[in-house]
Chain A
Amino acid sequence: MTDYKMHLLICGGTGCKASESDEIKNRLTQLIHDLGLEDEVQVVLTGCFGFCEKGPIIKVLPDNTFYVQVTPNDVVEIVEEHIVKGRPVKRLLYTDPTSDEQISDSKGMDFYKKQIRIALKNCGFINPENIDEYIARDGYQALGKCLSEHTPEEVIKEIKDSGLRGRGGGGFPTGLKWEITKNVENEQKYVVCNADEGDPGAFMDRSILEGDPHSVLEAMAICGYCIGADKGLIYIRAEYPLAIQRLKIAIKQAEDYGLIGDDILGSGFNFRLELRYGAGAFVCGEETALIHSMEGLRGEPTFKPPFPSVSGYMGKPTNVNNVETFANIPVIINKGAEWFSKIGTEKSKGTKVFALAGKINNVGLIEVPMGTTLREVIYDIGGGIKDGKAFKAVQTGGPSGGCLTKDYLDLPIDYDNLLASGSMMGSGGMIVMDEDDCMVSIAKFYLDFTLEESCGKCTPCRVGNKRLYELLDKITRGKGEEQDVEKLKELSGVIKDTALCGLGQTSPNPVLSTITNFEHEYKAHVIDGKCPAGQCKSLLRYDIIEDLCTGCTLCFRNCPVGAISGERRQPHYIDQTLCIKCGVCYEKCKFNAITLT
């Protein structure tokens, strides 16, 4: 065992590497070697700390000193002062923007409050296939507390007071939903967990089910106790085999322990759980379609009311909640509504799990308090945009949401703010786009998805979305006309107003939101015949600048379709009728003689 007295952790994330963290590491290592301290001090390159605006970052262990914006020139001072004399270098410490105080111990930094893990509390900590590990971390305590010490009314009041709202995206107050279902008279009721996660780029529910399945089971039992249901059904898509396997194991273990089944913990309360598999239709995430699918009917939505709380599965009162909503319940019971409601904003309490994807450095699963800004999510936690490109937009709420531009970076994320800015919370997918993304193509991508997933029951969605897609496709192929943008707006409005369910009503959102925020891109496509982001192939044109071309024949030899001709040492020429806009010539040319317009 080498017994180091000190470790210097240097951030080697993309952002910090760009600002010379490698150089800092090399100098530090060299200096420590020169002073003969290599047996006492170790220098280590780490992954992203996620505090990129303040990079490069050095963290010193064991005292947790946190240096920000370190340059290679600061290395000597850090070594001489901190390592040799044990005095932190004050000018490099992080200054808290609100209190103006210098913070040396990283644990006191606001930054570490940016993520709080409630729904993900056990993900990555416990073995999901071992119930004992869940029990060791307060597992099933909330259920025990409810059954032994509280009436259903008291539990519902606690959930209502906590301010928890549906995490599937709609944001309906969870406690209220439970209360409504409880108050409907019927001897048979059901609890349903909606695990039919289908948004492109969203994987929050899957991660919870795979990492902490018991928290969902426990919450469903609590819900059953509150509303008077003795049966729970988990509707999960068959494409999640690992989540299904772990749920099965979890249900079996909970049954073996008597935590699911008859007379739970001697309270006289019975609760059984079953899995139901979905075939992966996006519309089955809509609760009425989900219920029909479970009944063995076609997964098509029906008009609400009646709401499932009144007449759901098999015509009985049914309480449908999303996975993440359930995952919050045991914590609320254990920690209390007051604790929970201190987190978040006035009308949106608690945290939200987001699946951060797209053109971002730290693709991952994050859980932030409601009211965190997009800037904090993208630049602090997400580590900024890939390859240092410019941020263009972020799509929240999946195919039903909208895109938020840089004007919204400082908007606190909660249900109401997102709705007001033309997007929505949705289930928590967050897809980041940079300057190279064409917004018309993005809208087309989402329409392609909703078109595929529309159940076809109502005409506005079945036919309207098809026409929307055709218009977008026409624009991206360079055949668009100016009135097409107006047509898109008009048709979108009609679909929004007349479609039967949430899928259809929200499917034009990506179109409307990209037109609102990026109308100039649409205009560039239809008027100038250009795609500003250089994505729409039909609108690109590669040309050879005669003066710069040396006639090296490299492009000619690499063109896959023989569109380039010319003599050796003479300027070459691209035949536009043959060119397939693959861009190989542009990449290969060593003389920048090929232009892309």
Chain B
Amino acid sequence: MAKIKSLADLRKMKEEAQSKIKLRENSANPEQVVQIKIGMATCGIASGAKETMKFFVEELEQEAIDAVVTQTGCMGYCYAEPTIEVTLPGKEPVVYGHVKKEKAREIIDSYIKRGELVDGIIPVSFKTIDD
């Protein structure tokens, strides 16, 4: 791992990292990958987020759906753990709550494959610092 030697290097690094993520997120190409983030803080894991993550990784692989499944921290919806955020190429991210295996199955079959929303969306109700 090369060390970052100056602020200019760090800024370049940021742009590279951003463009990598942007490429993943904003591609208009429908063949692009599906992104799934799984809330994996202590609370999420306690409610079964690890099983959910394993399920997504295995199922999507089995169905040959090109997807990136990553972990993230607490989204703040303790009452609806495990929570996941699904971003289909070219679409706004959607957060789903109470995602155990059964729900995960439904999300793969309806939303990821056919673009049909599934019951149990958690609406975003906060502003970020960039809004």
Nearest chain B residue, comparing its CB with the CB of A246: B73
Cα–Cα distance between A124 and B1 once the two chains are bound (Å): 26
The distance from the CB of A216 to the nearest CB of chain B, in whole angstroms, is: 12
The distance from the CB of B76 to the nearest CB of chain A, in whole angstroms, is: 4
Chain A residues near B74 (CB, 8 Å)? Answer: 123-124, 207, 210-211, 365
Nearest chain A residue, comparing its CB with the CB of B17: A136
Chain A residues near B121 (CB, 8 Å)? Answer: 9, 44, 46-47
Interface residues in B1-21 by Cβ distance below 8 A to A read 1, 3-7, 9-11, 13-14, 17-18, 20-21
The distance from the CB of A571 to the nearest CB of chain B, in whole angstroms, is: 45
Chain A residues near B85 (CB, 8 Å)? Answer: 124
B28 at the A/B interface (Cβ < 8 Å)?
no
**Could you say which of A47, A206, A207 has the most chain B C-beta atoms within 10 Å of its C-beta?**
A47
A363 at the A/B interface (Cβ < 8 Å)?
yes
Known: A242-B42, A363-B79. A116 touches B126 (CB 8 A): yes
- Whether the Cβ atoms of B126 and A115 lie closer than 8 Å is yes
B57 at the A/B interface (Cβ < 8 Å)?
no
Cα–Cα distance between A202 and B38 once the two chains are bound (Å): 22
Chain B residues near A265 (CB, 8 Å)? Answer: 4-7, 9-10
Nearest chain A residue, comparing its CB with the CB of B120: A47
Which of A127-135, A396-404, A550-558 has 4 or more CB atoms under 8 Å from chain B?
A127-135
Contact among A7, A207, A208, A367 for B126, CB-based, below 8 A? A367
Cα–Cα distance between A51 and B125 once the two chains are bound (Å): 9
Contact among A9, A113, A132 for B127, CB-based, below 8 A? A113
Chain A residues near B18 (CB, 8 Å)? Answer: 136
A141 at the A/B interface (Cβ < 8 Å)?
yes
Known: A45-B120, A47-B122, A144-B7. A116 touches B127 (CB 8 A): yes
Interface residues in A351-404 by Cβ distance below 8 A to B read 361-367, 381
A172 at the A/B interface (Cβ < 8 Å)?
no
B27 at the A/B interface (Cβ < 8 Å)?
no
- Whether the Cβ atoms of B115 and A206 lie closer than 8 Å is no
The distance from the CB of A484 to the nearest CB of chain B, in whole angstroms, is: 38
Cα–Cα distance between A44 and B4 once the two chains are bound (Å): 47
Which of A152-160, A254-262, A507-515 has 4 or more CB atoms under 8 Å from chain B?
A254-262
Contact among B7, B14, B125 for A138, CB-based, below 8 A? B14
- Whether the Cβ atoms of A136 and B21 lie closer than 8 Å is yes
- A contacts with B, residue count (CB < 8 A): 76
Nearest chain A residue, comparing its CB with the CB of B15: A136
- Whether the Cβ atoms of A127 and B70 lie closer than 8 Å is yes
Contact with A along B72-93 (1 / 0, CB 8 A): 1111111110010100000000
Known: A124-B85, A363-B78. A242 touches B41 (CB 8 A): yes
- Whether the Cβ atoms of A210 and B73 lie closer than 8 Å is yes
- Whether the Cβ atoms of B79 and A364 lie closer than 8 Å is yes
Contact among B17, B72, B123 for A132, CB-based, below 8 A? B17
Known: A127-B70, A362-B79. A46 touches B129 (CB 8 A): no
Contact with B along A195-228 (1 / 0, CB 8 A): 0000000010011101110000000000000000
Chain A residues near B120 (CB, 8 Å)? Answer: 12, 45-47
The distance from the CB of B8 to the nearest CB of chain A, in whole angstroms, is: 9
Chain A residues near B7 (CB, 8 Å)? Answer: 144-145, 147-149, 265
Nearest chain B residue, comparing its CB with the CB of A368: B126
A335 at the A/B interface (Cβ < 8 Å)?
yes
**Could you say which of B74, B77, B83 has the most chain A C-beta atoms within 10 Å of its C-beta?**
B74
Cα–Cα distance between A116 and B30 once the two chains are bound (Å): 33
A591 at the A/B interface (Cβ < 8 Å)?
no
Cα–Cα distance between A379 and B77 once the two chains are bound (Å): 16
Chain B residues near A363 (CB, 8 Å)? Answer: 78-79
Chain B residues near A258 (CB, 8 Å)? Answer: 3-5
A73 at the A/B interface (Cβ < 8 Å)?
no
A49 at the A/B interface (Cβ < 8 Å)?
yes
- Whether the Cβ atoms of B118 and A127 lie closer than 8 Å is no
Cα–Cα distance between A9 and B124 once the two chains are bound (Å): 13
Contact among A11, A114, A124, A140 for B76, CB-based, below 8 A? A124
Chain B residues near A240 (CB, 8 Å)? Answer: 42
Known: A1-B114, A45-B120. A121 touches B14 (CB 8 A): no
Contact among B75, B79, B83 for A361, CB-based, below 8 A? B79
Cα–Cα distance between A127 and B115 once the two chains are bound (Å): 25
B65 at the A/B interface (Cβ < 8 Å)?
no
Contact among A45, A133, A211 for B21, CB-based, below 8 A? A133
B43 at the A/B interface (Cβ < 8 Å)?
yes
A443 at the A/B interface (Cβ < 8 Å)?
no
A588 at the A/B interface (Cβ < 8 Å)?
no
- Whether the Cβ atoms of B45 and A365 lie closer than 8 Å is no
Nearest 6 A/B pairs, CB to CB: A211-B73, A258-B3, A115-B126, A124-B75, A136-B17, A365-B76
A47-B122, A144-B10 provided; 11 other pairs, C-beta below 8 A? A9-B123, A116-B129, A124-B37, A124-B75, A132-B13, A207-B76, A258-B3, A258-B5, A259-B4, A266-B6, A363-B79
Seen from chain B, the residues whose Cβ lies within 8 Å of a Cβ on chain A are 1, 3-7, 9-11, 13-14, 17-18, 20-21, 30, 37, 39, 41-43, 45, 70-80, 83, 85, 97, 113-123, 125-129
Seen from chain A, the residues whose Cβ lies within 8 Å of a Cβ on chain B are 1-4, 7, 9, 11-12, 42, 44-51, 59, 111-118, 120-130, 132-133, 135-136, 138-141, 144-145, 147-149, 203, 206-208, 210-212, 240, 242-243, 256-259, 265-266, 331, 335, 361-367, 381
13 chain-A/chain-B pairs, Cβ below 8 angstroms: A42-B116, A44-B119, A46-B121, A46-B122, A47-B80, A117-B128, A122-B73, A123-B73, A135-B10, A136-B20, A138-B14, A266-B5, A361-B79
